[in-house]
Every structure is written in structure tokens, then in C-alpha cells.
Structure 1
């Protein structure tokens, strides 16, 4: 009788198979990489991808960045169909580029176009780490240069959001040439007396940090963003010294005079709108500047 009782209990104590378990749909939840708090993806998006528990700024794609920066429906994309070639015949580069396009839904690591912020027209370029870690190749440099030239043509401010691992190794020196090309275009923008706002996000490293992303008339960054040229380990091995824990963070750069302001993502749109407004040309008729 006792044996029969336990046999009966066993029937109800059986752990269901993996097939029988209800799985959480992919993309429904998101875990914060800093505090490990799990949040509904929809809720996180409503918070502009900032953790409600530890204030960590998640990396976001160019589409979301544009949506929370520009006036709704004002964005007009430029040069969307430009695609990188394989000028050095680097093995496997063509296949990886196709894979990146399929995974990210982008043709390259930067989106460019025009739009408005609080009604003020601007030209904008937004790098996307979802495409080959936002690496700077020939097309990235060309698209940014064209956006700057368009800003000169339209006589409007240029805003750049950087998110990049640096130069794209598969394009060798052609990638490094983009540092000079984009910097030259930005110098022409400055000669025209037009505003360039650079916003550095996590990460902004390598040749991107060493060229156009650091050349803003006003340089901003998001909290906690990794910003720097070489990696921490390489620098420590070179100078044979231990670096501060917050080295190469936005806050460290701010404290050492390399940034004008660290701006929370929830305040970024308002901050940009204010800066653009303050730099509008004066058209009054009373003779005062």
C-alpha cells in the first residue's frame, strides 16, 4: 500500500521535458549588462534604453537614435544605397558584408540625412555599432563627408553621433584616409561659420575618436561612454603604469577638459535643441547682433 502511494506520487512529481516548458519569446525581455536587472523590452524602449535601476545607458541603433532626437516624421535619409566594396580583395570581406547587411538591416555603419529639432533644420549622421561594430570604412567616411557638404549647401548645423570600434581593418589605408577626408570637410564647415555638434556614445574609439568625432565646436557625450584611441591594456603596457579605474570614460574626459558636457540621454534632445537655437543666425532689423 505504501509502495503504491509513492508510485502514485511519482507521477505528479515528474519534471516536464524541455519541449513542454513554455519559453519566453526572444526579444520580449532585456537584461541590463551593468546591474543584471531584467526589464520588458517595450518598457526599456519607452525609457530610451536607459536602465531604470542603475541608470546604465544601453547601446542603441541608429533608427532609435534618430527617433528620439529629431522631430517625428522630419528625417529624410541620404545615400542609403551606398555599399562597401572590397578594394584590397580581403579574404571573406564580401561575405561578411552581406551577413552584416542581413543581420542589421543596414547597408553601412552610418545613417545620414536631414531633419529638424524643435523645428530647427539640421543635417545629421548617426553611426551604428550594429553594423561591423560601427567601423569606419570608405563608405562611412564618404557618407559623413557628403552630409557635411550638404550642411554647407543648406547652411544648417551638422550633428554627429559616434559609435565605433575604429577604422575598418579590411580596407587598410583606405579606411585611414577617411580620417583626413572627413576632417577636411569639417574644416570647410567651420570656415563657413556653421555649427558642428559631436555627440560621443559608447563606444567611440580608434580612428573615429582621433578624427571627426573630436572636432566638434561643442563636444558632448553620454554618461559612462567608452571614449579613447588605444585600449587600456596597450596603454598600461606602453607607459608601465596603472591607469585610473574611470580612464577613458565620458566623465574622466569631462574632468580633464576634453568634453564640454556629459548629457543624460533623456535630456539629449532638449540640450541639442537649445544649442541649435542659440546658434541661429540673427535676422533682426534693429541693428543689434
Structure 2
């Protein structure tokens, strides 16, 4: 090899072991281009302070926000999906499940837990979009149904946090059956005169919207969340018409009567407990109790 391509003097060099890459995750850039340190973002309830953009978060973060001191007992933590239909498309469903579990550390697209929120026991089911798009399959439906059953047996309020792309196509009719199962369990919860608050976050779509997400005694949502059955592109293609501004945002849905309130994430814990106290005709709790 020609000496032209050889370095004659090494000069000052840093060994590979001593080189440090820029740590990942230190900064977050919102869709509007605002940049915030990840640590500051977490302290601000994962909301960008400059543009108020609500970053997508999962059950870990919502449990941290809603449960006192992040103390809770997870319900049915080991339920996991099978592949009864032996579904194959571009990839085996069983392989996708393994990959999603390894990537997220989750067993499926929902976690359920019981703990104290502002001093009183509360059951919460929260979906995780990171697990196959928060899709609803047999395990999601079963865990939600069991959580509602737990609420009935323990006489506790129930909160559902939805974040889903809809029914899980890889489970076909088995997934669609969960709409009826969860809705039937919510009917039993109502018969037991226990309150149910549904929180719609970005996105809440498909079979989730067509079942438990819209069946709350009080339906609330975070600002700017996408809420609907079919997505805007599908609706536009089906109707052949241009859609109104902010179509299917939580603000649009509120204006058209499908939501009761929009709640900023920093107020979520206080507002949910306020609504529960009102429904249960109990004395209103103060924030200091949280």
C-alpha cells in the first residue's frame, strides 16, 4: 500500500476504550421543533413546556403519575399471548410477540394495578402503545376484564387509560370478542354502582374506541389526542370529502359531545380523584393528601 495512505505519526489519539459517545436520550424534540432535556421533560409530566405537547408515555409513567409514591400491586403480571390461529404474514405472530416482549420488557399491551391515589384505593388499567401498537388481543381483553372483576369484588373505582391502534389483526375474531367481554364486565361494574373513568390518550382508535374507551361514566382525554374509530385517511377515502380542521383531535371530539372534559397531564391525578369523589358523593380531597 502506498505511503500516501499511511499515517507516519500517530500524534495524540484516544484509545477506543476511552472514547465516549454522546449519551442517547438526553434531549427530546417535539413535533413543533421544540427541544427539551429528557430529565426536565419527565419532571414536567412528559409535557413539552414551550408548546404543551403531550409526549406519548406508557403504563410505567402513568402509574408513576397516578399512584401515591408510585406504590402499587400489579394484577395478573404474567399473562401472555399465544398464537392459536398460527397467523403468518410477513412474520410469524409468535415471533412478533417474542420480539415485542424483548424490546419493551412487557408481557402484552396492557398492565393493570391497584394502589392508593390521593390516599384511596384505585384500580387502573393502562395500555402500552410500544407493544404492537397497543393493539387489543385476548390478553388485553382478559386483563381488563379481570381488573374490572377485582374492582367489583373489592368495591373499588376503576380507571382505564387507552392508547391503542385497535383490535389485533393476528388474533382475528378472538380479538374482536374482547369488545363484548370488556363491555359486559363494565355493565357489571355499573350494576355494582362503582364509578368508571375512561381516559383517552394519543391515539385511541379502532375496537378500543368502539368498546371500553367510550363507556366511562366520565370520558376524559389529554390535549391533542387522536380519538376515533377509523383513521383520518381512511375516513377521507371512504367519504370522498375534505375533513374539518383538527378532525378527530380530543378538542374536536369534545366539541361534538363525545367527551366530558380535556385534562392536562399535570392535573390528571387531581382531576380523576375529584371526579371520583363527585360520583361517589364523598368529601373532596385536597392535593396535600396525595
Length-normalised TM-score, structure 2: 0.88
- 2:122 maps to 1:122: yes
Question: Where does residue 54 of structure 2 map in the other structure?
Answer: 57
Range that drifts further, 68-77 or 110-119:
68-77
Q: CA deviation at 1:278?
A: 2.2
Question: Where does residue 23 of structure 2 map in the other structure?
Answer: 25
Q: CA deviation at 1:22?
A: 6.0
Question: Where does residue 277 of structure 1 map in the other structure?
Answer: 277
SS at match of 1:96: helix
Question: Where does residue 3 of structure 2 map in the other structure?
Answer: none
Query: Whole-Å Cα distance in 1 between the matches of residues 101 and 282 of structure 2?
Result: 44
Question: Where does residue 255 of structure 2 map in the other structure?
Answer: 255
Query: Whole-Å Cα distance in 2 between the matches of residues 100 and 134 of structure 1?
Result: 11
Q: CA deviation at 1:30?
A: 1.4
1:131-180 residue CA offsets vs partner (Å, 9 max, x unmatched): 11110000000000000011000111100000000000000000000000
Question: Where does residue 103 of structure 1 map in the other structure?
Answer: 103
Query: Whole-Å Cα distance in 2 between the matches of residues 282 and 263 of structure 1?
Result: 21
- 2:29 maps to 1:39: no
SS at match of 1:25: coil
Q: CA RMSD in A?
A: 1.8
> How many residues are matched?
266
Query: Whole-Å Cα distance in 1 between the matches of residues 117 and 275 of structure 2?
Result: 10
CA contact (8 A) 2:202 2:226 kept: yes
Query: Whole-Å Cα distance in 2 between the matches of residues 159 and 267 of structure 1?
Result: 15
CA contact (8 A) 1:165 1:206 kept: yes
Mapping for residues 1-289 of structure 1, pairs under 5 Å: 23-32=21-30, 34-91=31-88, 92-280=92-280
Query: Whole-Å Cα distance in 2 between the matches of residues 216 and 82 of structure 1?
Result: 25
CA contact (8 A) 1:179 1:208 kept: yes
Distance verdict in 2 for CA 1:207–1:41, change over 3 Å: same
Length-normalised TM-score, structure 1: 0.88
CA contact (8 A) 1:120 1:277 kept: no
Query: Whole-Å Cα distance in 1 between the matches of residues 65 and 234 of structure 2?
Result: 36
Query: Whole-Å Cα distance in 2 between the matches of residues 121 and 242 of structure 1?
Result: 46
Q: CA deviation at 1:73?
A: 4.2
Query: Whole-Å Cα distance in 1 between the matches of residues 209 and 133 of structure 2?
Result: 14
CA contact (8 A) 1:123 1:158 kept: yes
Q: CA deviation at 1:101?
A: 0.6
CA contact (8 A) 2:109 2:135 kept: yes
SS at match of 2:66: coil
CA contact (8 A) 2:157 2:194 kept: yes
Distance verdict in 2 for CA 1:223–1:73, change over 3 Å: closer
Larger Rg: 1
Range that drifts further, 189-198 or 273-282:
273-282
